[in-house]
């Protein structure tokens, strides 16, 4: 039996990169995946590809920075499915800039998506996940929450907050049969950071800090998410799983 057979899973930021890999992996394992992204066309492309591969998926335009949109989507999930078994808070943005020159607008934009978006989705999905009785929330933090570099202050701060939030929700939601865990990816080869990794000097420096001496692939993160979403992780909550090639263990 497939590991997510008949489970309803919602993945944010699933139009590309890690989110897309998670959505496709969940569908292959029998889940009905709600593919959400601020880019509605990208979400539709992913959902269509899943359906063409005999998976179950639907596309939804969602800006996690907009409370009204999050609430409306959860209302739709309730009407159509009646419950939610898996929530993956993957949507995120970055801002690489000198902290001394960062504007309030740039700072707030990253917080609105990375942390507040996670808060909104976890909060508004609560009743749906409580109905499941055996639900899993997976929040995407980052190795940058524990390992820092220049010009990444706001990103690191938001991801550190996501990790702390996840531990708190694990305690608060446990009584309702909802597990909450965190994934901390390292540098993953996606379009989002492709230009950054294409610089040979930067790539060499980062690989030197990565014991496995390679960058991650979206599928590496998706496989870890699948484990945490499945019943194989039924006794795991409040955990933070590094999927970073060992980068988080280096000085």
* Between 146 and 82, the higher pLDDT residue: 82
At residue 131, does pLDDT exceed 80?
yes
Residue 151 — pLDDT band, cuts 50, 70, 90? low
At residue 198, does pLDDT exceed 80?
no
Give Cβ neighbours of residue 41 (< 8 Å, ≥ 6 apart). Answer: none
Please pick, among 155, 173, 176, 187, the residue that the annotation labels catalytic.
155
Query: Percent of the chain at pLDDT above 90?
Result: 73
At residue 73, does pLDDT exceed 70?
yes
10 Å CB burial of residue 1 (0-12, 13-18, 19+) is exposed
At residue 180, does pLDDT exceed 90?
yes
Query: CA 180 to CA 119: how far, in whole Å?
Result: 12
At residue 86, does pLDDT exceed 90?
yes
Strands (E), 103-228: 135-140, 178-185
In the chain, what are the domains?
8-240 (3.40.50.720)
Buried b (16+ CB within 10 A) or exposed e, 104-122: eeebeebbbbbbbbbbbbb
State the average pLDDT for the chain.
93
Global pTM reads 0.95
Q: Closest Cα partner for 172 from 130, 214, 116, 229? A: 130
The average pLDDT across 69-87 equals 98
Q: What is the pLDDT of residue 144?
A: 77
At residue 209, does pLDDT exceed 90?
no
Q: What is the pLDDT of residue 31?
A: 98
Query: CA 79 to CA 74: how far, in whole Å?
Result: 9
Residue 130 — pLDDT band, cuts 50, 70, 90? very high
* Between 150 and 233, the higher pLDDT residue: 233
Active site residue 187: no
Residue 145 — pLDDT band, cuts 50, 70, 90? confident
Q: What is the pLDDT of residue 122?
A: 98
Residue 251 — pLDDT band, cuts 50, 70, 90? low
């Amino acid at each position: 039996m497939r590991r997510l057979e008949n489970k309803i899973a919602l993945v944010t930021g699933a139009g590309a990169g890690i989110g897309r890999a998670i959505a496709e992996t969940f569908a292959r394992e029998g889940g009905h995946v709600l593919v959400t992204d601020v880019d509605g066309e990208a979400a539709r492309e992913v959902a269509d590809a899943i359906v063409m591969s005999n998976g179950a998926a639907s596309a939804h335009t969602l800006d996690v920075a907009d409370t009204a949109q999050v609430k409306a989507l959860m209302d739709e999930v309730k009407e159509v499915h009646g419950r939610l078994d898996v929530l993956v808070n993957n949507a995120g943005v970055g801002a690489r800039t000198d902290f001394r020159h960062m504007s309030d607008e740039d700072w707030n934009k990253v917080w609105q998506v990375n942390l507040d978006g996670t808060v909104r989705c976890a909060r508004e999905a609560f009743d749906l996940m409580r109905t499941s009785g055996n639900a899993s929330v997976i929040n995407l933090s980052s190795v940058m929450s524990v390992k820092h570099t220049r010009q990444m202050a706001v990103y690191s701060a938001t991801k550190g907050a996501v990790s702390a939030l996840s531990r708190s929700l694990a305690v608060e939601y446990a009584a309702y049969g909802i597990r909450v865990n965190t994934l901390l990816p390292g540098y993953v080869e996606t379009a989002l950071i492709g230009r950054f990794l294409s610089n040979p000097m930067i790539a060499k420096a980062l690989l030197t800090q990565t014991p496995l001496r390679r960058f991650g692939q979206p599928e590496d993160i998706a496989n870890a998410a699948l484990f945490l979403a499945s019943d194989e992780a039924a006794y795991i909550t409040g955990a933070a799983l590094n999927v970073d090639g060992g980068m988080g263990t280096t000085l």
